[in-house]
Amino acid sequence: MQFYSFDNNDPVFEIAGWKLSFQVITLENIYGLSPEHVTISEEGTRWRLRCVALTWGGGQHAAAGSVTVEAQVDRHQLRCTVSAAAPDKITSIKVLIRDLPPVHLLDMLDQPRDVPADGLLDRYPNPLRLPYWLVALPDHTLLGFRCEDAAYRAKRFCAYRERMGRLAGQYAVECIHEEDARLFDTHITTPEWIFARVTQPEAFRQDQLRFAENHAGLTPWEQRGDVPAWARDLRLVLTLHGMHWSGYIFNDYARMLDTIRFVAERIEGRHVLAYLPGWEGRYYWQYGDFRPEPLLGGEDGFARLCDEAHALGVHVMPMFGGNCANAWKPNFHTFGPSSYMKSATRNIFLGNQPDWNTSRAQDTGWQAWLNPGAPAWQTELTRQILTLADRFSFDSVFLDTVEVWTNDPDFNIREGYRQLVDRLRDGRPDMLVTGEDWYDGLLPIFPLFQQTSKWRQIPNWVGRYVRLMGHICDGEASRGSTGVFESGYAPYERLPDEPFYIPTLAFVDGTLERARDEIEAVIALVRE
């Protein structure tokens, strides 16, 4: 985090015990409120601030513009909406909660996190899963901050010790709302912020989820309409690793089928989902040009795998890159150049950059990150998936890296996934579409996620809405290999014994032969 080298001189307003400041951030500068142009009115539990002029440069300069803050006190919480106008297009509105003693953050599992000397910043929707923060004061008082935004727009939260000005030495918490970059304008109104003195963290979190259920499409698992009947019977996922980025083959289609047969002899096939990362050839390298890999058995081998799995009742789920493609493939020019992910100010988004070739340079210029809302990429990806689904009759699709998000100024990424999934399921009610990782805005779109607690905390409340299966970063049982996944190794662990996890077994070359006891033990637990 960076800070200004001077006091920004933001006026502080007190309401119901909260000391607040406000800032307006545009594409070209940051603006504060001019204290001489502020009027405040209070009527019962309602409070209104109106400022008809702005300042910039730490208050040294004046600017046209306005800010209106509407707030209501409701017992231990303050509901607050900010509207602003400025000379240039506004990207964000910041509310600062100031004059606080030292604070500790509580994470998604309500465990404390220290605020380091240079401050702590969390971003929503990635890595935060909810637009929600809790901090603890030295007297164990909890302060909660959340935003009720049905559009799932970007939020940022940070905490730090102030270094300059009359509040130097005290702590501040910032709650920032960023507008959808497609809608940047000289006028903005934030969704409603809720600031609360919290006695029960779970109740405060449930208020956020209740809002999402009532206003933003979040639906409990039992009521979801996008879960095929067969998917509700799933009890075991087999992660059958195919070809690594380097070309190393863990399982060809014949070996995958051998594993499926082995499992189907021990548990009814209808309870099993065969998940196929690296089925299309070199993992990630082949993204954007999906087809059965000749070195794994080609079209005939893949057809045999799908047909025989279905004959055993097993469901097949190939993996597809939902937002990533190889820019060096011959077909890229037909969909890629118009579909790049971008930041709000149009920097090309690079996403992850794994050290695929172990050069230790992590230079992946061929790996293009594409917006699923871009018409060309969405149409091409839909075409490829449905063509293959018709040819090979698989009834489930996995979309990789759907949790990756940026505030793209051309196409909204979350809306793009909603459109993509709707197109994949149009006329195919038995099609299950699964994603990697999640935040609250993805829960209404995907009913099943690949997820691991090794990467991100998993609170139990997620099980109210979706089911989780093991991630490919989880090591398999024979040697801890992560197969096609870039980390290479992770100690093998079973998934937590929670009802919202679907037990998952990963297979690379040798797993079936060398980890037979563990495989049999997990299958026995599933049968029980």
What is the structure's pLDDT at 64? Answer: 98
What is the structure's pLDDT at 457? Answer: 81
Contact 508, 483 (CB under 8 A): yes
What is the structure's pLDDT at 68? Answer: 98
Is there a single domain that holds both residue 384 and residue 486?
A: yes
Q: Using the predicted structure, report yes or no on whether residue 218 has a pLDDT greater than 90.
A: yes
What is the structure's pLDDT at 195? Answer: 98
Is there a single domain that holds both residue 149 and residue 281?
A: no
What is the structure's pLDDT at 251? Answer: 98
CA distance 386 to 425: 10
Residue-number span of the structural domain to which 274 is assigned: 224-321+376-527
Residue 329 lies in a domain: no
Q: What is the CB-side half-sphere exposure of residue 112 using CA atoms within 13 A?
A: 11
Contact 282, 288 (CB under 8 A): no
Residues 6+ apart with CB under 8 A from 121: 1, 156, 157, 158
Nearest to 523 by CA among 486, 487, 481, 477: 477
Q: Using the predicted structure, report yes or no on whether residue 420 has a pLDDT greater than 90.
A: yes
What is the structure's pLDDT at 213? Answer: 98
Residue 52 lies in a domain: yes
What is the structure's pLDDT at 256? Answer: 98
Contact 65, 24 (CB under 8 A): yes
Residues 266-296 pLDDT 10s: 999 999 999 999 999 999 999 999 999 999 9
pLDDT band at 110; cut points 50, 70, 90: very high
Nearest to 400 by CA among 434, 367, 423: 434
Is there a single domain that holds both residue 483 and residue 519?
A: yes
Q: Using the predicted structure, report yes or no on whether residue 15 has a pLDDT greater than 90.
A: no
Report the interhelical angle of 375-392 vs 298-311 (nearest 10°): 70
- Peptide bond preceding 294 in cis form (omega within 30 of 0): no
Burial label, 360 (beta-carbon count in 10 A; 0-12, 13-18, 19+): exposed
Here the tokens at position 133 are: 């923060």
What is the structure's pLDDT at 8? Answer: 95
What is the structure's pLDDT at 75? Answer: 80
Average pLDDT taken over every residue of the chain? 96
Here the tokens at position 462 are: 């997620």
Q: Using the predicted structure, report yes or no on whether residue 43 has a pLDDT greater than 80.
A: yes
What is the structure's pLDDT at 456? Answer: 73
What is the structure's pLDDT at 125? Answer: 96
Question: Of 215, 242, 266, which one is at a domain's C-terminal end?
Answer: 215
Q: Using the predicted structure, report yes or no on whether residue 455 has a pLDDT greater than 90.
A: no
Beta bridge partner(s), residue 30: 25
What is the structure's pLDDT at 504? Answer: 97
CA distance 309 to 326: 30
pLDDT band at 452; cut points 50, 70, 90: confident
- What's the structural domain count of the chain? 2
Burial label, 203 (beta-carbon count in 10 A; 0-12, 13-18, 19+): exposed
Is there a single domain that holds both residue 189 and residue 229?
A: no
Query: What is the pLDDT averaged over residues 134-157?
Result: 97
Is there a single domain that holds both residue 198 and residue 171?
A: yes
Is there a single domain that holds both residue 148 and residue 272?
A: no
Q: Using the predicted structure, report yes or no on whether residue 454 has a pLDDT greater than 80.
A: no
Q: Using the predicted structure, report yes or no on whether residue 76 has a pLDDT greater than 90.
A: no
What is the structure's pLDDT at 74? Answer: 85
Alpha-carbon distances, residue 170 vs 33, 102, 261 (angstroms): 21, 7, 64
Beta strands in 65-154 (DSSP E): 66-74, 77-100, 104-106, 112-113, 120-124, 132-136, 142-148
